[in-house]
Amino acid sequence: MTDPQTDDQVDVLIVGAGPVGLAAAIMLERLGVSCMLVERRSGLHTAPQAHVISSRSLEICRAMGIDDADIRAGGTHPGDSLHIRWVDHLVGRDLGVYSMASDLDQVARMFAQTPTPTCNLSQDQFEALLAGRLSDKTPIRFRHSWVGCRPSGTADGGYVSDIETREGARLTIGSRFIIGADGAGSRVRQAMGAEMEGPHHIQHFINIHFHANLREHLKGREGLLYWVMDPDCVGTFIAHDIDHNWIFMKTVGADEPLDPIDEDRFAALLQRAIGKDVPHEIQSQSSWVMTAQVSSAYQKDGLFLIGDAAHRFPPTGGIGMNTGFQDAHNLTWKLAMVLKGADPDLLSTYEPERRPSAVSNSKQSHQNFLNMVEVAKALDADGDGIATMDDFDKVLASEERKAYVQAAVDHQAAHFNMSGLDLGVCYTSSAIVADGAPPVSPDPVSHYVPSTTPGARLPHVWLRQGEDQISTLDLVKGDRYLVLSFGDRGADVQNALEGLKAASVPVEHVAIAPGGRIVPADDQYEDLFAPDQILVVRPDGHIATRIEAAQCSEELRTAISVALPV
């Protein structure tokens, strides 16, 4: 699209340069799509916010060329992130402890099901890492606010966006598509006429970002989260770095005035919640509202929503940003293919594939929050409806009562392991050739069951390519479909693909077979991949269809043409 009346032209304009918007830009740049980000803030975030980077998000980063070792290098030390503690005060007494390594079977499953287990890294550090992966071809224009857009009026469609700088200057940017990654108050969502559905006010919080070295004070009591139960200073400490970087998330009443924030009062509450006079330096205080909402629409014509613009969850589960990563991963390859000539109907599959996942994640995150009351009730030893310091004394003096509290703590497991929702997403749309439901998980939230059901993520198993160990996920390329065969059917598939290649369909065949170029690293793959089946995998790693190898000559072209209109 060209429009000489605009100040700049790109294929895709991304509104918002948070982690999800940055990830979308990296993906599009790698796919050869020109894009630009506009961000009303003056720069990247400087305070920690989200911190959980899920296995699937790390897999997506791996596909973007970002080694998860680079991410882990700046993250929370693994030994500091194994425990979640319910305490009277931070530097005080443990009332109950949840260990994320307590279920060894679960830990083994996690390491078997992904090449990139979950890690913790502060959002501000993650944003900086992502921004550093963009080339000069993809600018981030800070202090630029997206005001609105109008149809370009050109033959190939698209939009002209009005942008306003912090200094009051106006400019226009032409683009074929617009991605709204502009957060809770998304202007792009408003321009689409979409509304948020679900609870709009669950709880109000003050975030206090402070620096302190609490290593010695917490020796033997290291943890990632500390839930402070003293009724005078109820809140949550997030240890982004025990030696330096902390957030205290303090609950406040819905009717409490917070504009301006009474910083002296909350500084005193922070001191009480710490429980000891330790040196610390407050960096900032800010307020926010917990919601559990999903947008009524994810797309309208050439406008799309990803991340917090499309959904907002309670942080109980740490899956909000990660859901946004999957949004971007689902959308960007489709935009790239349409820009290169694929049927625009491919874009209509974005909302039906991604919105159901957000609804499920929102409901579970909200349920995790509601379940937290079980611990408070267990700590209320005298049953008067308020868990007090006297109650905590009684709990700690009774082995029976401690066991009762610990049972309530252990019941919060879904809060800290949502791998079933993270890895078990199974899409249904016109871009998936369905042939049945995936296997039923005994715990869909926390227990992922690998499956080759169309719509599911391609299962991870380790392979050998020469001297290198690779994952099945590494076979997926973002700009083409993957036809994956097993055993001795490679020649049949190659013959069946000749016509597709002649028609310039973006498709690549990989055979996994003993004695071949790529071989199984162990026998795990035999439990997942049948030698009599061929999988067609989309550029986002989700399976489009599976067909019988004996019929691949007749079915392969049809299957791909259904999944990818060209």
Digit-coded pLDDT (tens) for 472-493: 999 999 999 999 988 776 667 7
Looking at the predicted structure, is the pLDDT value of residue 115 above 80?
yes
Q: Is residue 318 very low, low, confident or very high in pLDDT (cuts 50, 70, 90)?
A: confident
In this prediction, residue 562 carries a pLDDT of 62
Q: Any idea which residue has 């400087």 for tokens? A: 46
In this prediction, residue 154 carries a pLDDT of 83
User: Do 8-75+121-196+293-356 and 426-563 share a fold?
Assistant: no
Picking from 362, 376, 382, the residue whose alpha carbon sits closest to that of residue 316 is: 362
- Count CB neighbours of 137 within 10 A: 10
Say what the pTM is. 0.94
Residue 144 token pair: 């630029």
Judge contact between 227 and 236, C-beta under 8 A. yes
Count CA atoms closer than 13 A to 137's CA, side-chain side: 15
Q: What is the mean pLDDT of residues 353-366?
A: 95
**Which of the 8 DSSP states describes residue 419?**
H
Q: What is the mean pLDDT of residues 248-273?
A: 90
Looking at the predicted structure, is the pLDDT value of residue 313 above 50?
yes
In this prediction, residue 556 carries a pLDDT of 72
Looking at the predicted structure, is the pLDDT value of residue 319 above 70?
yes
Which residues, 6+ apart, have CB-to-CB distance to 467 below 8 Å?
Answer: none
Residue 422 token pair: 């993270």
Residue 213 token pair: 């070295």
Looking at the predicted structure, is the pLDDT value of residue 301 above 90?
yes
8-75+121-196+293-356, CATH topology level: FAD/NAD(P)-binding domain (3.50.50)
Residue 208 token pair: 């206090």
Judge contact between 510 and 494, C-beta under 8 A. no
Q: Any idea which residue has 């369905």 for tokens? A: 434
Digit-coded pLDDT (tens) for 37-94: 999 999 999 888 888 999 999 999 999 999 888 999 988 888 898 999 999 999 999 9
Count CA atoms closer than 13 A to 96's CA, side-chain side: 27
Judge contact between 536 and 564, C-beta under 8 A. no
Which range is least confidently modeled, 252-266, 422-436, 496-510?
A: 496-510
Q: Which stretches of 317-380 are DSSP H helices?
A: 320-339, 350-371, 373-379
Burial of residue 347 (CB within 10 Å: 0-12, 13-18, 19+) is buried
Looking at the predicted structure, is the pLDDT value of residue 123 above 80?
yes
Q: Is residue 516 very low, low, confident or very high in pLDDT (cuts 50, 70, 90)?
A: confident
Which residues, 6+ apart, have CB-to-CB distance to 211 below 8 Å?
Answer: 244, 245, 246, 280, 281, 283
* Amino acid in the structure at residue 544: A
Q: Is residue 559 very low, low, confident or very high in pLDDT (cuts 50, 70, 90)?
A: low
**What is the CATH architecture of 426-563?**
3-Layer(aba) Sandwich (3.40)
In this prediction, residue 333 carries a pLDDT of 97
Residue ranges of the domains in the chain? 8-75+121-196+293-356, 373-411, 426-563
